[in-house]
Amino acid sequence: MEGRRAAARDSDRDPVISRRTVLGGVLIGGAGLADIGLWRYRSRRDPSLGAAGPATEPQPLAIPEIMDGVLHDGLRTYDLELRTGVSHFFPGLDTPTLGINGDYLGPTLRIQAGSDVRINVTNRIGAASTLHWHGLHLPARMDGGPHQVIRDGETWSPEFTVKQRAAMFWYHSHMVPHTGRQVYQGLAGLIYVEDDETSQLNLPRDYGIDDIPLVLQDRAFNGDGSLLYDTGMRSRMMGMRGDVMLVNGTVRPYFAAQTDKLRLRLLNGSNSRFHTLGFADGRAFFQIGTDGGLLRHPVETARLTLAPGERAQIIVNLGDGRPAQLRTYQTPVSGQMGQMMRRMMGDDLVFDVLQIRPEAQRRISGPLPQKLIALVPPDPTRAVRMRRFVLRMGMMGGGMMGGTGSERGMMGSRGMMGGMRGEGGMRGGFTINGKEMDMNRVDETVKVGTSEIWQIENPSMMAHPFHIHDVQFRILDRNGAPPAPGERGLKDTVVVNVGERVRLLLDFVDYADPDRPYMYHCHILEHEDAGMMGQFVVTAR
């Protein structure tokens, strides 16, 4: 079933990451790794310590090709081909990968809001796949979810109208239960939707010059350069994590800035790792956008956390002419269990993300607008009903967070190995409202033209990024408190921290289809593959 040529090599061994974690942060990669110098690219506990070993040459940041499509029968048409390829992340090493129109990742599709589009997706990876338009509002049969399988050699051609505001969306494989593996190998890319309201703002928008997409993905590698997709217990539990950061597929990237402001469009494209971003010199930046659009006002901050699937747009000021190192910091976790989980996972790894080098001659970008777009606060009184979604992990159970006595504890009746399905084939465990994903079961039915409140509850021991297809929602509150300023925009993925109850306001509009469901799921891809996913249909009134 899986494309063998490009498949990441499984390993019975632990990935190197764990070996180092056990050694308390000392960088020992094992002889094989040291021989080929791979260890030099790996993350470090604290970049300021310079613990990553001898300096290696940074590489220019890869910028995905931009595609504007061609007009065909009144439809803006894009041709995509899923392929197997070979990437060169490290000098002298071949890494078998998957890509779209290339060896790794895919082109950035640029679409004007209001356009009617057709995307021809041809699958040539030697295995079944899908391509899902994450964040786009469209009919369920165009969604590219697990029901729109494209068999090897076939072409799937969804058509839809882009009825959204300017934002960065993305596309990726949704081939349950191999989503995690296929995305890990490279089946993902970006979508820029542009509109007039945003184009009139004085914001950087020269693609690849001052409007820069950054796809953040941590990856693990075997000594021969092949990707290591670990299906061992820990990776399935916590999600697959690596100790090398790829940014648009580049290891240790730098970017030469020709302007005094940069707009960075960030996607956390990792399978499971949260990334908390900031600059090494402590400089603040402005967040201007969320998953589904711009914010009303720029929000000044020095740190930004993105969970898998989430996006943000930020403006970085380079007016002082000094280099700026974008890096990651430890993501704050709450409670003792959270800290324990982090230690277990070696989750204190932090990474250099992008070295920004301002050129001596820089174009002046002009002042950042104080007002961005019109966005009314969400009004919960228009909701016609409330639904609850309770996220659980079988192995470590719920029950830690004030759950009921019927929940399985850490060493519950099914034991530590109690549950997990997904690639390894074990059963049970990752559930929403006590149910694992079943392709043949519709979990929720909503009516088109109505609004609802969805309350997501997390009694498990890890934070989960909850993603809903078709809608851009608004966050009402977290445990009753209003969302942070950087979350007050359109969202399609929301972090639900341990012990949290997050309420969302959703509008279901335009498309009804009683026979084809949309998905909602945890965007830790190994959790999704293991069953933490459900289906809803939107029906006519």
Residues of this chain that bind Cu ion (CB under 5 A): 134, 464, 469, 522, 524, 527
Partner interacting with residue 327 (select from ligand C2O, Cu ion, none; CB below 5-8 Å by kind): none
Are the C-beta atoms of residues 202 and 366 closer than 8 Å to each other? yes
Residue 391 Cβ vs Cu ion, minimum distance, rounded to whole Å? 7
Q: Which of 521, 524, 530, 534 binds ligand C2O (CB under 6 A)?
A: 521
Order of all β-strands in the sheet with 304-306: 59-60, 253-259, 352-363, 324-329, 275-279, 304-306
Smaller CB separation from ligand C2O, 117 or 524:
524
Query: Please, which residues bridge with residue 431 across strands?
Result: 392
Considering Cα of 280, then 348, then 487, then 164, what sign does the dihedral take? Answer: positive
Q: Which of 172, 219, 265, 408 binds ligand C2O (CB under 6 A)?
A: 172
Q: Which is nearer to Cu ion, 76 or 469 (CB)?
A: 469
**Closest approach of Cβ 126 to ligand C2O, in Å?**
23
How many residues sit close enough to ligand C2O to count as binding (CB under 6 A)? 10
> Which residue minimizes CB distance to ligand C2O?
134
Residue placing its CB nearer to Cu ion in the complex, 67 or 519: 519
Is 519 a binder of ligand C2O (CB under 6 A)?
Answer: yes
Closest-CA residue to 307 (of 81, 85, 525): 525
Question: What are the backbone angles phi and psi of residue 524, rounded to the nearest 5°?
Answer: -75, 110
Q: Which of residues 454-513 bind ligand C2O (CB under 6 A)?
A: 467, 469
The binder of 521, among Cu ion, ligand C2O, none, by C-beta within 5 to 8 A per type, is: ligand C2O
Placement of tokens 């009314």 in the chain: 376
Among ligand C2O, Cu ion, none, the one that 527 touches (CB under a kind-dependent 5 to 8 A) is Cu ion
252 binds, among Cu ion, ligand C2O, none (CB under 5 to 8 A by kind): none
Q: Report 16-45 residues binding ligand C2O (CB under 6 A).
A: none
**Longest Cα separation, the chain:** 66
| Cα–Cα distances in angstroms (integers) from residue 299 to residues 325, 378, 457, 477, in the given order | 20, 19, 27, 18
Nearer to Cu ion, 103 or 470 (CB): 470
| Distance between CA atoms of residues 290 and 94, nearest Å | 36
User: Residue 240's binding partner, choosing from Cu ion, ligand C2O, none, with beta-carbon cut-off 5 to 8 A by kind?
Assistant: none
User: Which residue lies nearer to ligand C2O by CB, 356 or 519?
Assistant: 519
Q: Are 63 and 77 in contact (CB under 8 A)?
A: no
Among 44, 137, 174, 275, binds ligand C2O (CB under 6 A): 174
Segment lying near ligand C2O (by CB under 6 A), choices 83-91, 236-244, 295-303, 517-525: 517-525
Residue among 113 and 187 whose Cβ is closer to ligand C2O? 187
Please, which residue, 392 or 469, has the CB nearer to ligand C2O?
A: 469
- Give how far the C-alpha of residue 276 lies from the chain's centroid of Cα atoms, to the nearest Å: 13
User: Residue 459 binds which one of ligand C2O, Cu ion, none, with CB within 5 to 8 A depending on kind?
Assistant: none
Cβ closest to ligand C2O, residue 176 vs residue 354:
176
User: Which of the ranges 26-34, 291-299, 373-381, 518-526 carries the binding residues for ligand C2O, by CB under 6 A?
Assistant: 518-526
Q: How far apart are CA 456 and CA 522, in angstroms?
A: 11
Q: Which stretch binds ligand C2O (CB under 6 A): 79-87, 273-281, 408-416, 519-527?
A: 519-527
Region 259-318 residues binding ligand C2O, contact defined as CB under 6 A:
309
Find the shortest distance in angstroms from Cβ 104 to ligand C2O.
Answer: 18
Q: In what order do the strands lie in the sheet containing 311-317? A: 250-251, 244-247, 211-219, 261-268, 311-317, 285-290, 293-301
Residue 316 sits at φ, ψ, to 5 deg, of: -110, 130
Judged by CB under 6 A, the chain residues 313 through 342 that form the site for ligand C2O are none
Signed CA dihedral, 164, 472, 121, 206: sign only: positive
Q: Which is nearer to ligand C2O, 222 or 290 (CB)?
A: 290
Q: Which does 309 bind (CB under 5 to 8 A by kind): ligand C2O, Cu ion, none?
A: ligand C2O
Which option in Cu ion, ligand C2O, none does residue 263 bind, with CB closer than 5 to 8 A by kind?
none
Q: Which is nearer to ligand C2O, 52 or 175 (CB)?
A: 175
Give strand ranges (E) for 173-303.
Answer: 188-194, 211-219, 244-247, 250-251, 253-259, 261-268, 275-279, 285-290, 293-301
Q: Which amino acid is at 305?
A: T
Positions in 132-151 near ligand C2O (CB under 6 A): 132, 134
Cα Rg for the chain, rounded, in angstroms? 22
Q: Is 92 exposed, middle or buried (0-12, 13-18, 19+ CB in 10 A)?
A: exposed
Angle at 443 between CA 450 and CA 158, to 5 degrees: 70
Q: How far is the CB of 174 from ligand C2O (least distance, A)?
A: 5
Interior angle at CA 8, CA 7 and CA 10, nearest 5: 115
Which positions lie near ligand C2O, rule CB under 6 A?
132, 134, 172, 174, 309, 467, 469, 519, 521, 523
